[in-house]
Each structure stands twice: as C-alpha cells, then as structure tokens.
Amino acid sequence: MSDKTKKLKSIKLPKGFRASGVYSGIKGNNKLDLGLIFSERTTVSTAAFTTNQVKAAPVKLSKKHLRRSDIRAVIVNSGNANACNGKKGDDDALSMARCAADSLGINPWQVFICSTGIIGYPLPIDKIRNAAPDLASNLRVSGWKNFSEAIMTSDSVNKVASSQINFGNNKITITGAAKGSGMIAPNMATMLAFIVTDAAITQSELKMATKIAVDESFNSISVDGDMSTNDTVMVMANGAAKNSVLKKNSRNLSKFVEALKKVMLNLSKQLVKDGEGVSKFVTIEVNGAATAKDARKVSKAVSESSLVKCSWNGSDPNWGRVIDAVGYSGAKIKEEKVDIFFGNFASAIGGMVASTPIEKLKNEVAKEEFTLRIELNLGNGSHRLFTSDLSEEYVAFNRLEYALKIQGH
C-alpha cells in the first residue's frame, strides 16, 4: 500500500458529515470534477475569501449565503472558475446552489458554492444539474477521498489532513481537504480549502480560530506570487461531538485553535510542495524585524522574487538576490545589520559575504527542502513563510492554458 493510500485511509470524517465526488463532464477527461459535503446537523460556519477585487460569482454568492447562517452543504466544481462571466455567471452560481439543495432537501441559501479552473469561460451548468442527483446519492462517510479528488485542477495529488483531540470523554475530529498548485501567494493563495469538524463552538469563536489559523498557514505560503479570483477557506462545525460549547475563554478553546492550525498548516505545506513545476520546498524565517508587519514584508518580497526563486532552482546560494529583495521590501532595515543563512550556514554577516565555503552553501540549497533564515537584528518581529523555486516546467505548464481551452484541446 502506498504512503498516499495509507494517508487517505487514515482520514476520518467528523461525526455527522458525509462527502462525495463524481464525474460530471466539465473537465472532459473522465476525472472526478464535482464534489459535495453535507452535514446531517445544523452548523456554524465561517470562511476567508480572496482579497482580489475581481471575484468569481461563487465567491459573491457564498458570502451572501454565509450571512444567513446554518450552511448545510458545500458543492464544488473543478475545471471552470465561473469568473468574469457577467450575469450568466451569477445565475449559474445560483443554479448550482439550487440543484444541490433540491437533491438534499434543503434551502438554496444553505448551500456554499465554489468553483475552480479556467477564468472567463462559461460554466457548463447543465452538466452540474444532470450530475447533482448522483452526487447526493453517493454521499458517504468514506467519501472524503473522492471529494478531495473532485476539487483538483492542476494538482498532481489530492491534499487531505486530519487531527483529533480529546475534551474529557468527547473526541473532536477536524478534517480538511485543499486544492491548489499554481497562482499561490500570501493573503489567500489560489486555492480552495474545506475544513469540517464535529466540535460544538460558537460562531464568533469559530471565526476567531479560523482567522488565527489562516494567518499562520494559507496566508503564509507563496509559489508564484499570483492571487486568484476564487480563493476560499471554509470551515463548518456541527457540534456532533457533543462537547461543552467552546466559548470565549473556554478552557479547551486554545486546544481547538492549535488543532485547527495543525490541519491548515499541513494542507498549506502540501499546496506548496505540489506547486506547478516545484522542485524545492523552502521555509523562509525572518527574525529581528522592527515589527511583525515588517517581517511579513521581507518574507513576502523574498518569496516573490523571480531572481531568488530561479537561483534556488539552480541550487545557487545567491544571497545577493536575497538581500536585494530585503532592501526593496518596504520594511525598515539597516544593511550592515542583515545576516543571511542557508540552513545553519552563514552566507552573509552584517550585510557582507560570510566566510562559509561555497560548496557547503550549494549543498544546502541543492536539498529538496531547506530553510532560508534572515536576521534583521532590529527588534522582535518575526514571520515564517513557505515557498518554492521557479522552474522551466512552471513556464511550460502555464504558457497556453486559455488558448488550448478555447480551441477545444
């Protein structure tokens, strides 16, 4: 049994949830492309959405539905973003909610909608309508694998994670699935993530916990610096574990937040490692910044520098490109105080080249996973960000997506 199969088999859905994934024909490659999550109980839900000013129709509609409370289902299609399609796109998003609701016997406003795929191409809504009854009838406690596959686009593997914690005699399960491998940048990468839990928790505390977890996971990754029209992280809690409701200052609330962060961090790392054309997984640690905000600025600038990322792809420990990005990041710095390390080896001390032999630095950057540590030595601000290299394969993959789709290939 492969490690991937073992991981999928170990994933447990929280009590009261079922999921499914079917082939509707949107992708046209016989791969699953329509997913559904359903809670048998009422829920409290929250979500974080793209900060892009161009927002896909499902994002706009899901925001409205979320304000009504008691989301019972999530329907997701892959292969088409339903973005920049005008009124038809809005109508199709609503139709998507309605067909899911009709198949489940709930209200359309209780359905959360997501789409992912090519932008500016009409959503084949009839295919979703035709597949909706089959999607609902295939709901299973064991359906998380099919759901996680159905939301994939350019992903090479499905991304799932789960964690369990005990509150006395009550076992809480938190399970997630995510998709994304390109257009991934801080402040909601190009990705979708769905987290479900059977914890009993108030709406306000779930919102707070989600914000903390997202900031330290999905908002701390970068592959190519691009941001999508569809980015969404959605969390549902149905209380089926029957624990004492987690409220402000509850004894177990911090344990729940840490478990949620663990799941989201696991998923976010998987997103970076499966980035389009990625051969290096890099952890950027920025310490000693004047403020935490400055530390974020530095990590973001370095992670989005094409010159830096290309050097990593070639296993080149080019600290000059790193300090260049630090300098234009907008953070307060003093050149003579900046220290840069690849792993445990200094490449620059006090803004000048260190004495570490170049072969040691090259060997560190040649690893599939390594850490770049930047010490600013100005204060106590720090930030950690996960990113990748930039390869020829990334360029080749992204050269002709839209033209090929329009031409029917």
Cβ atoms < 10 Å from Cβ of 345? 17
> Same domain for 238 and 212?
yes
> Same domain for 14 and 61?
yes
pLDDT value at position 373? 98
CA–CA separation, 320 vs 315, rounded Å?
14
Residue ranges making up the domain that contains 329? 281-390
Which of the residues are catalytic?
190
63: in domain: yes
> Same domain for 188 and 308?
no
Radius of gyration of the chain (CA): 22
- Give residue 279's identity as a one-letter amino acid code: S
Q: Report how far apart, in Å, the C-alpha atoms of 258 and of each of 172, 206, 235, 254, 263 are.
A: 13, 12, 15, 6, 9
Q: Please check whether residue 187 is in contact with residue 226, taking contact to mean a CB–CB distance below 8 angstroms.
A: no
401: in domain: no
Sign of CA dihedral 251, 252, 257, 261: positive
| Residue keyed to tokens 């073992």 | 6
> Same domain for 269 and 289?
no
> Same domain for 22 and 102?
yes
Last residue of a domain, one of 226, 241, 273: 273
319: in domain: yes
DSSP one-letter code for 13: P
> Same domain for 253 and 297?
no
CA–CA separation, 98 vs 360, rounded Å?
60
**Strands 369-375, 381-388: parallel, antiparallel or unpaired by DSSP?**
unpaired
- In CATH, what number is assigned to the domain containing residue 92? 3.60.70.12
336: in domain: yes
> Same domain for 245 and 347?
no
Tell me which long-range contacts 315-319 makes (C-beta under 8 A, separation of at least 24). 315/362, 315/365, 315/366, 316/362, 316/365, 317/342, 317/347, 317/358, 317/361, 317/362, 317/364, 317/365, 319/347, 319/348, 319/353
The neighbouring-strand residues paired with 78 are: 116
> Same domain for 182 and 288?
no
> Same domain for 155 and 108?
yes
Specify the pTM. 0.87
Q: Report how far apart, in Å, the C-alpha atoms of 301 and of each of 96, 110, 328, 374 are.
A: 39, 40, 8, 12
227: in domain: yes
Q: Work out the angle at residue 368's Cα, subtended by the Cα atoms of residues 385 and 366, and round it to the nearest 5 degrees.
A: 105
Number of domains in the chain: 2
> Same domain for 252 and 303?
no
Per-residue DSSP letters for 220-240?
A: GB-SSS---SS-EEEEEE--T
> Same domain for 307 and 384?
yes
Q: Please check whether residue 159 is in contact with residue 249, taking contact to mean a CB–CB distance below 8 angstroms.
A: no
407: in domain: no
CA–CA separation, 194 vs 178, rounded Å?
6
Span 359-378, pLDDT tens digits: 999 999 999 999 999 999 99
Span 25-82, pLDDT tens digits: 998 888 999 999 999 999 999 999 887 888 899 999 999 999 988 999 999 999 999 9
CA–CA separation, 284 vs 400, rounded Å?
31
339: in domain: yes
Per-residue DSSP letters for 294-353?
A: HHHHHHHHHHT-HHHHHHHHTT---HHHHHHHHHHSSS---GGG-EEEETTEEEEETTEE
CA–CA separation, 116 vs 120, rounded Å?
12
> Which H or E element spans position 254?
helix 253-273
Q: Please check whether residue 359 is in contact with residue 143, taking contact to mean a CB–CB distance below 8 angstroms.
A: no
CA–CA separation, 186 vs 215, rounded Å?
9
- In CATH, what number is assigned to the domain containing residue 366? 3.10.20.340
Q: How many residues does the chain have?
A: 409
> Same domain for 70 and 129?
yes
Where the chain has pLDDT below 50, the residues are: 1-6, 182-189, 409
pLDDT value at position 292? 97
pLDDT value at position 401? 57
CA–CA separation, 175 vs 148, rounded Å?
11
Buried b (16+ CB within 10 A) or exposed e, 22-49: bbbbbbeeeebbbbbbbbeeebbbbbbb
| Residue keyed to tokens 């009709």 | 102
246: in domain: yes
pLDDT value at position 105? 98
